Amino acid sequence: MEYVREGDTLVVTRLDRLARSTLHLCQIADKLQGQQVNLQLLDQNIDTSDATGRLLFHMLSAISQFETELCSDRQIDGIAKAKEGGVRFGQQNRWTAEQAAKLQARKRIRLS
């Protein structure tokens, strides 16, 4: 991005290789447009040097964000359903309750 100059074309294989969110993608697109640099996406055959390419670019970025949000919603629903089913997430306790009590007792003795 630091090396592009006015009149250059930045070629990217896929849209998701350029940015991780629609907001970031729009920021990159605005920066490129401000530098008068075109963007070309190889797998979707989109070139932002014309109005049609810019329209397709923005439509695809919005659809990509929608898919990302759907995936996130499904993940949240799946986690909630798993918790209802008794699945425990996170690291398991390394110590038994007895071991933890012994450690706390040692700590109390040292602090006294």
Q: Are strands 46-47 and 9-12 parallel, antiparallel or unpaired?
A: unpaired
What pLDDT does 52 receive? 92
Please tell me whether the overall predicted TM-score, pTM, comes out greater than 0.75 for this model: no
pLDDT band at 23 (very low <50, low <70, confident <90, very high): confident
CA dihedral (56, 59, 62, 68) in degrees, to 10, reads -70
In this predicted model, what pLDDT tens digit does every residue of 31-86 receive, in sequence order? 988 899 999 989 888 898 889 988 988 888 888 888 889 999 999 999 999 999 99
50: left (phi over 0), alpha (psi -120 to 50) or beta: beta
Kindly list the structural domains of the chain, giving each domain's residue range(s) and its CATH number in brackets, ordered by start.
9-90 (3.40.50.1390)
Nearest-angstrom CA–CA distance, 112 and 103: 14
